[in-house]
Structure 1
């Protein structure tokens, strides 16, 4: 790695601390006697802070030295992990997890801008790919460590272990992160590589506060007319995707643990999914070069939706839940997710990038934030009413609906 980009190692080390956290929080809450509603509340609270966090850190990135923002993010994230290790109640876990989420988003925008400032433009694609890969590898390492460590230590102790990695990321950032030249965030919209990696790290970008008038694009008169319905229907399809993901991802680890599957196996399934996600992201760019992104999105949603339904039905016995989980979770959370993310982000970039300077990007980010919040919240009530299986089947059907919209766009 180029000496000027050594600061990227801090993203890998911080990824170790953030990768397994949501799964560990879920298992911790269940261990303390919480049910699916308690888990849903914790994940929902974490998702709620994403919108203000994205706005807050984004606006600061245009006004303050990016190095200081990265250090603040890593430093306070470490603090909340330490506090989580001392938690004695579910509300304390919820608040510390939300605090970690708020500060863990601080580094995503500054790091993307630092690449554009410190790397030669011809090497942007390689540098952004490196940042994305290092962050993902960090998440994978964190999941692998957690898979084995939960066999011998309590989850609250795991929080302290993760805090060591977060603190190490702070030290690496302190040593190697250069001072910034203050490029504005709009520069990210001129590079598909920067835009895609930034959305992968945090799926919300607010360059401006979205004006209410921009939401008129969802009026019935526009939704029913081609070609002006392309953008609102694209946004709606992606919003449905995030609602579905919230319904499934919020409670899938809890559903496995509820079947009597031990923590290590639960984390093992999630780890294999992350491994497949990393591998697919590595090859997906070449796959999409000569393919229509709308058709690719449609196919990936069919695969992911089918996986959700199969994993829901598999909960009839612990054995089927484990076997089909190891098979279909990597296909859904790895292959299908990576393919959809790459394809849909390309479509979004074509809509908001370049000369338009992200006029409707705030609308898109608002919808995604609402979808993440509502999906995770509804999952708790839905699972209580119709069980985990019913919740996951509904999530799968929603993905079929989202896929049908992409198919309609493809035909239009």
Structure 2
């Protein structure tokens, strides 16, 4: 009975701490999203170089997310979370001193490793702490801590750079990361399962079991859908500032603010939406809203159209991410949770990394309008992938 009562409570001390740590770490990372291309330009780099330096953060996840997931299932969450935050702390400290394009590339690679460790650990810990009957709702709230930095970070980054320069930008990120690092020591060392039953995750580990998780369609299809969406959105995140300058649109930073405010509002309405809206309709409508946002951006020539695109993307993404994440977690056992979250998260990271590299080249050759039209095409492709997945699932159930 004691275990049931603890599990039925969503807003525990540890869940609040995990949300706070995620918020601080993600804000530190996103302060660079709008400013890093400008920093690369100041160091003498091109758009393509900027795309590569931005993208390496996600590409490093391709090699580290899955091993991290295996370690999480074998050794637990808090230790790895603290290690990831320590790596980020050291990385931001070095960014203040080593200011060349080559060192920036190397430190972004290290930053990607640290971010992969802390983000996967925090997401897995959050999933452990959320009662199963509140999984979608809890993940929706946790994703607010992941989403809000997308608005605060770029604005904070631009404000700091404009007033104090790029060195101050990295000092702010260092401060945020150090607070998150300290908070990680206040987390419980054991998961609720271990705390109440004395059980440790029973897993053979290694590539064989990781491959088994990857073969699970309930993991791969949602991961592929989010990969396509985030791959497309990476072009917006990385180059919205330069796109606005080219179009002579002032106030482009508010794109992230509006998008995040809409995302947070939708997430608070999410529990009611799940009760009233059919899941297939919700997912299809969300993907169409995202695709339309990319198409609108391609022809945006003023701030109104830019912010309207932000609203459409916020509505779609706010509903899509927690539903896809829930499908993944409902498709695997508790002992596979770390690996499943690692695969799902790696899809997002690699999408943002690889996307930034590709879109940098496309923008240089064809311009931003063609780039955003291609982004919309990726959104439509995600819709077809979901319809294929949904069709196969219904066929198996019949």
TM over 0.5: yes
Which secondary structure does the structure 2 equivalent of 1:394 belong to? helix
1:44 is aligned, of 36, 48, 55, to: 55
Residues 1:130 and 1:390: Cα distance change in structure 2 (over 3 Å): closer
Q: Which runs of structure 2 are paired with 1:235-384 in the superposition (5 Å)? A: 237-259=225-247, 265-314=251-300, 320-332=301-313, 334-350=314-330, 352-354=331-333, 361=340, 371-384=351-364
Q: Which runs of structure 2 are paired with 1:5-404 in the superposition (5 Å)? A: 7-8=17-18, 9-64=20-75, 66-112=77-123, 114=125, 131-137=142-148, 140-174=151-185, 176-181=186-191, 208-210=209-211, 214=215, 237-259=225-247, 265-314=251-300, 320-332=301-313, 334-350=314-330, 352-354=331-333, 361=340, 371-404=351-384
1:261-315 Cα offsets, whole Å, 9 max, x none, are 56xx34332232222222222222321333333322222222221211221222x
Q: Shift of residue 181 of structure 1?
A: 4.8
CA contact (8 A) 2:144 2:264 kept: yes
Residues 1:163 and 1:232: Cα distance change in structure 2 (over 3 Å): closer
Q: Shift of residue 238 of structure 1?
A: 4.5
1:337-359 Cα offsets, whole Å, 9 max, x none, are 11222333344445x33499579
Q: Shift of residue 3 of structure 1?
A: 4.7
Q: Determine the C-alpha separation between the residues in 2 that align with 1:62 and 1:31.
A: 43
Q: Determine the C-alpha separation between the residues in 1 that align with 2:31 and 2:214.
A: 40
Q: Determine the C-alpha separation between the residues in 2 that align with 1:115 and 1:359.
A: 11
Q: Shift of residue 46 of structure 1?
A: 1.3
Q: Shift of residue 5 of structure 1?
A: 5.2
Which secondary structure does the structure 1 equivalent of 2:163 belong to? coil
Q: Between Structure 1 and Structure 2, how many residues are aligned?
A: 368
CA contact (8 A) 1:7 1:172 kept: yes
1:137-188 Cα offsets, whole Å, 9 max, x none, are 45544344334333312123211112111112112223x122225969xxxx
Which secondary structure does the structure 2 equivalent of 1:106 belong to? helix
Which blocks of at least 5 consecutive residues in structure 2 are unaligned? 1-10, 195-206, 393-398
CA contact (8 A) 1:17 1:139 kept: no
Higher relative contact order (CA 8 A, sep 6+): 2
CA contact (8 A) 1:273 1:330 kept: yes
Which secondary structure does the structure 2 equivalent of 1:107 belong to? helix
Residues 1:73 and 1:408: Cα distance change in structure 2 (over 3 Å): closer
Q: Shift of residue 41 of structure 1?
A: 0.8
CA contact (8 A) 1:62 1:182 kept: no
TM-score, normalising length from structure 2? Answer: 0.76
1:85-132 Cα offsets, whole Å, 9 max, x none, are 334222322222222221123233444554577787788777655544
Residues 1:122 and 1:232: Cα distance change in structure 2 (over 3 Å): closer
TM-score, normalising length from structure 1? Answer: 0.74
